[in-house]
Amino acid sequence: MAELFDLKEIEERVVLIAVSTGDGDDAEGSLKELAELVKTAGAVTVDKVIQNREKVHPGTYLGKGKIEEVKDLVWELDATGVVCDDELSPAQLKNLEAALDTKVMDRTMVILDIFASRAHTREGKIQVELAQLKYRAARLVGMRASLSRLGGGIGTRGPGEKKLEVDRRLIHERIGQLKAELEDVKRHREVTRQQREQGCAVSAAIVGYTNAGKSTLLNHLTDADILAEDKLFATLDPTTRSFTLPGDQQILLTDTVGFIRKLPHHLIEAFKSTLEEAKYSDIILHVVDCSNPQMDMQMHVVRETLKDLEIVDKTVVTVFNKTDRLRAMVESGEAGPLAQLPRDFSADYQVRISAKTGEGLDELCGILEQIIRSRRVHLEKVYPYSQAGRIQTIRKYGQLLKEEYTEDGIAVEAYVPAELFAKLYAD
């Protein structure tokens, strides 16, 4: 295999190609997003090509005439490869590569490559390698030729590339090992989750389309100091932080990996243990970039992904982020005046904020306090001084509204978790 070079030493120049079947697939918008993915992976898009067909060619993805057109483009623009906007079958990958005589990648390979470069924790690295191996196991024959011929570049990064030259038996053995390691991590996560539940902690999972501002929101609220860049999948590993609301109520906020259209099923499967943080949370904070023209499509993708993960029957707060950017777009004429009134009729609550400037965060905190209070029971009781320790329990797990010291004892008014009410009310 040819020597692998660092991406910084080789500038990947790629042509993006897509097939539009005319059924509302929005090929142009999808290609624009693919260009952002390619940029995040460290390559440069030199041209985009869309072919209109009734259906994708089963053997070569593109039709014969369009293949010749793309082949000429690759030569004229001195491109180092092409990236297809759909996941290719092993046959399509092999045949298209032979026809174009250049490196061929698909959307899934680029996303896996980005994830490989962004995974830092042990769990994240295991999940990425597992997804890579599952994807590549069926494509060894088609991928060997291109990767050994060109070497390096996007689509070859991460722990999976060192497995490409071993046989399928060893790859499947490695997949088995990774699954076992992931189960260990999952068990540890479940223990941590059970400890939180025993502590009656209310949790909220921050979900949303990639680059919607989830990490920026977590940073602003909790000073988490996690990476927040204007790039797709800037952060990958989940981060949980405790946040004290203005009314002294505690809530756990977890930043999750961003969603994207055509999210590879290999990744969804591998990252299920991470995404389960959303499944076991009490509240879903759905962060939406309301300045993005594709906002409705992105919201639909997130809702469908949550449904696929069986994350249902949750209290959903849709957080329309980047209102400052949207306001500037309206003032400049880029967006119409009605754009300032985004709506999500499927959500239980909705709020407009700017995670960058802090605008609207007080209202968001008020909504969270309202939700937490609705899940708690109102308690009024006079405790004898011998039971003063129960006041600390109320402070820790509930919201203490009133505390008055009288001759008969300590008069308390509070909101407490339902599971603690009987214990706190008993004499």
- DSSP characters over 83-125: EESSPPPHHHHHHHHHHHTSEEEEHHHHHHHHHHHH--SHHHH
Residue 258 labeled ligand binder: yes
pLDDT computed for residue 2 by the predictor: 35
Q: What is the CATH number of domain 13-114?
A: 3.40.50.11060
Q: What is the CATH number of domain 200-373?
A: 3.40.50.300
Indicate the pTM of the whole model: 0.79
Q: What is the dihedral of CA 153, 154, 155, 157, to 10 degrees?
A: 70
CB 267 within 8 A of CB 274: no
Residue 230 labeled ligand binder: no
pLDDT computed for residue 265 by the predictor: 72
CA distances from 87 to 139, 208, 293 (A): 12, 23, 25
Residue 208 labeled ligand binder: yes
Q: What gap in Å lies between CA 231 and CA 220, rounded to an integer? A: 18
Residue 357 labeled ligand binder: no
Residue 324 labeled ligand binder: yes
- Helix, strand, coil % over all residues of the chain, rounded to 5: 45, 20, 30
3-state secondary structure string, 333-360? Answer: CCCCHHHHCCCCCCCCEEEECCCCCCCC
Encoded tokens for 416: 């407490």
Tell me the pLDDT tens digit for each residue of 156-169.
Answer: 555 544 444 556 77
pLDDT computed for residue 331 by the predictor: 85
Residue 236 labeled ligand binder: yes
For residue 200, the SS3 value is coil
Residue 210 labeled ligand binder: yes
Encoded tokens for 135: 């994807």
Tell me the pLDDT tens digit for each residue of 41-79.
Answer: 889 999 999 999 999 999 999 999 999 999 999 999 999
Residue partners of 167: CB distance under 8 A and separation at least 6: none
Tell me the pLDDT tens digit for each residue of 112-149.
Answer: 888 888 777 787 788 888 888 888 776 665 454 444 44
For the beta sheet containing 283-289, the strands, ordered from the edge strand earlier in sequence to the opposite edge, are: 239-244, 250-255, 202-208, 283-289, 315-321, 349-352
Compute how many other C-beta atoms are within 10 angstroms of the C-beta atom of residue 88. 23
Residue 328 labeled ligand binder: no
